[in-house]
Amino acid sequence: MNRSLILLLILLGISCSSNSTTDTPSDDPEKEEIGLNSMEGLSLSDIVLPEGFKIDVYARVNNARSLALTENGTLFVSNRGGDKVYALRDTDGDWKADEKYVIVSGLRSPNGIAFKDGSLYVAEISKLWRFDDIEANLANPPEPTKIYDDYPKDGHHGWKYIAFGPDGKLYVPVGAPCNICESKNEMYASITRMNPDGSEREVYAHGVRNTVGFTWHPETGEMWFTDNGRDWLGNESPACELNRATEAGQHFGYPYCHAGDVVDPEFGDKFPCSDFVKPAQNLGPHVAPLGLKFCTSGSFPAEYKNRVFIAEHGSWNRDAEVGHTGHKITMVTEENGKGTSYDDFAVGFLNKETNKAWARPVDLVFAEDGSILVSDDLAGTVFRISYTL
């Protein structure tokens, strides 16, 4: 093999391993852990929030990704860039974690976690595990039960976000194994669901390029999910998406149509955009929306009730002269299943002058006291945002 061909293969390998629309590994999984409540490397004074809100550090967790909070206050934190899942406890009630446990290690991108009926569910790229009675055994976790091991093994968009719906089913997405492609396997670019024991798996939603966050409306019970738009159509297109699924079997456009009306230049001649479910709200281009929750906080002002809070991980390949997008927490107000406004809630994780981020929001949960816990995989932090007026 000549030198030119080797160089070409290397370049292609780099291109293919680049995760589209920004959800890229942003921390060294082997980086030494810092103090549990350390402020090292953080710029909290740069964060701009609405009047009456403040941000603090709940805990430091290397490459903190998905969050699952139990009624007893145990916060499970996944570690996609590494191989671990952690548990955090605040035993003295000061809203700073003082205990940290490693629940499991040695997994392949364990990004997805969910908690139900005393058991912790953990998703690798191709497998699902269940740890029973986990809160009683944080210091000595039990051997897990494998509940499924037949998901695709592709690393590209292969990491999972998992959650239980109001129907008791476990929802598991399968990202497209590419930036843009058409697959004969209907499992790619989908959201699947199954019983908690792994039985009766089915495809729930089609045409979903790469969702790394979904939740359910607290009143209607309908699923809402984020989707990362495709790359290489320019700095400003397409928009990333906030979608609403009202029933099983709907198709949300990928790879034929993006953001409701952007015809894909490679596959868009096969089906018109009118064939697909349009987004409830178009978000910013390349913002990489990940975790989301409807606001159910009893401590926030009434105007925030049922707004959708979204963790935007932030762009990775926009041209330097236009600057990054995302790297913040945003809110969408919805009425009758459609977004009516799209606003910033927390900004300042990205330094606009240098175009460099010091933190990248990933997931969020509302805690019992109404505050928001937000994970960040760049600085390795779980932030706490509370209302103080």
Percentage of residues of the chain with pLDDT beyond 90: 89
The rounded distance, in Å, linking the Cα atoms of 236 and 322 is: 9
pLDDT in tens, 175-187: 999 999 999 999 9
> What would the mean pLDDT of 61-72 be, rounded to a whole number?
97
Minimal CA–CA distance to 138: which of 86, 185, 80?
86
Amino acid identity of 211? T
Lowest mean pLDDT among 6-10, 51-55, 209-213: 6-10
Please state whether 41 falls in left (phi above 0), alpha (psi between -120 and 50) or beta: left
Q: Give pLDDT, residue 320.
A: 86
Q: Give pLDDT, residue 285.
A: 96
| Domain made up of 26-387: CATH architecture | 6 Propeller (2.120)
Higher pLDDT, 34 or 153: 153
pLDDT at residue 50 is higher than 60: yes
> What would the mean pLDDT of 180-198 be, rounded to a whole number?
96
Q: Give pLDDT, residue 28.
A: 52
Q: Give pLDDT, residue 9.
A: 35
Q: Give pLDDT, residue 27.
A: 45
Half-sphere exposure of 366 (CA within 13 A, CB side): 21
Query: For residue 340, how many other CB atoms are within 10 A of its CB?
Result: 11
Q: For residue 267, with 0-12 CB atoms within 10 Å meaning exposed, 13-18 middle and 19 or more buried, which class applies?
A: middle
The rounded distance, in Å, linking the Cα atoms of 272 and 276 is: 8
Higher pLDDT, 29 or 334: 334
The rounded distance, in Å, linking the Cα atoms of 246 and 249 is: 9
> What would the mean pLDDT of 224-247 be, rounded to a whole number?
97
pLDDT in tens, 286-323: 999 999 999 999 999 999 999 999 999 999 888 988 99
pLDDT in tens, 133-165: 999 999 999 999 999 999 999 999 999 999 999
- From residue 38, alpha-carbon distances to 58, 93, 185, 226, 379 in Å are 10, 18, 46, 31, 11
Give the pLDDT band of residue 26 (cuts 50, 70, 90). Answer: very low
pLDDT at residue 99 is higher than 50: yes
pLDDT at residue 7 is higher than 90: no
Name residue, tokens 């495709």. Answer: 230
Taking the model in full, what pTM does it have?
0.92
Query: For residue 200, how many other CB atoms are within 10 A of its CB?
Result: 9
DSSP element (H, E) containing 58: strand 53-60
Q: Give pLDDT, residue 317.
A: 84
Q: Where are the domains of the chain?
A: 26-387
The answer to whether 365 and 65 are in contact (CB under 8 A) is no
The rounded distance, in Å, linking the Cα atoms of 362 and 375 is: 5
First to last CA, the chain: 68
Average pLDDT over all residues of the chain: 92
Query: For residue 376, how many other CB atoms are within 10 A of its CB?
Result: 28
Q: Give pLDDT, residue 2.
A: 39
Give the pLDDT band of residue 32 (cuts 50, 70, 90). Answer: low
Q: Give pLDDT, residue 183.
A: 92
pLDDT at residue 359 is higher than 50: yes
Give the pLDDT band of residue 97 (cuts 50, 70, 90). Answer: very high
Q: For residue 227, with 0-12 CB atoms within 10 Å meaning exposed, 13-18 middle and 19 or more buried, which class applies?
A: buried
pLDDT at residue 3 is higher than 50: no
Give the pLDDT band of residue 8 (cuts 50, 70, 90). Answer: very low
Q: Give pLDDT, residue 34.
A: 84
